[in-house]
Amino acid sequence: MLTNWQITPGLGSELDAGLQLIELGDGDLHELKQLAAERGVVVARSQVMSLEQQAAFAHRLGEPLTSPANKAGVPPELLIIKADETSKHAAGEGWHSDVSSEAEPPGLSMLRMQEVPQSGGDTLFANMYAAYDSLSPALQAFTATLTARHDPLGHYLYLSGAATLAELPSSIHPVVRIHPQTGRKALYVNVGFVSRIMELSRRESTALLQLLYDHVAYSANIQCRVSWQPGTVVFWDNRCVQHFAAFDYFPQRRLGYRATIRGEKPIAVK
């Protein structure tokens, strides 16, 4: 059994020290994925793991998305997350769910940090189960009838120049989705990828999306914050959390590697 403690009562768990992820058996790995589905975020500290070992571990989690533009020596299963004194922006700024424009958007993401600034560089997470649950009953019922178009403007392949917008898919997903492992309802729109709600006029769509985005951004009681150390690995379940990478450490350096695991077509509320 994976012993852990809660980061907040509603969101996030940190695994006990001494555990090495690459030594987990299949039963523990299943438990890790279930813990991520239930708690949204799972943190493991002091991990010793090479790039090749992280890529191999990603395959144990499922089907990794790939990055064909990696430099030599970085496996295609890993996405480089880097900012330094030359960066004007950092990957992950703004609330989002990873590449939700995919027809089968990611389930788990796994980020291992190799270098961190002296201070800053935290990642904020927001609980989309709680975001939905804390809407009024009338708005819960209404949003569960809607779908939204997700476009690849925030896709890592587009931002890196490896693909054009025309080469990447757009998808229509339910505004409220059912997590297949927990059966719980989660709000599933994010400012990084969603262009509009399909059943509403442009004006109505813009107004409702802004309301939902503000609800996520300003509800501090549904959020947690993770501070990084070299060797920290964080898993998050994109089906039920959004995240925001704070770029408050310029001009210091931050370097990590992310594996992103394909999920399933989002399940709508019946």
Buried b (16+ CB within 10 A) or exposed e, 68-104: eebeeebbebbbbbebeeeeeebbbeebbbbbbbbee
DSSP 79-135: EEEEE-TT-SS-TT-SSB-TTTTSSS-EEEEEEEEEE--SS---EEEEEHHHHHHTS
Q: How many residues does the chain have?
A: 270
Q: How many angstroms separate the CA atoms of 128 and 116, rounded?
A: 28
- Paired strand residues for 106: 262
Three-state secondary-structure class, residue 269? coil
Residue indicated by tokens 């940190």: 14
Active site residues: 96, 98, 243, 258
DSSP 54-70: HHHHHHHHS-B---TTP
CB of 238 within 8 A of CB of 187? no
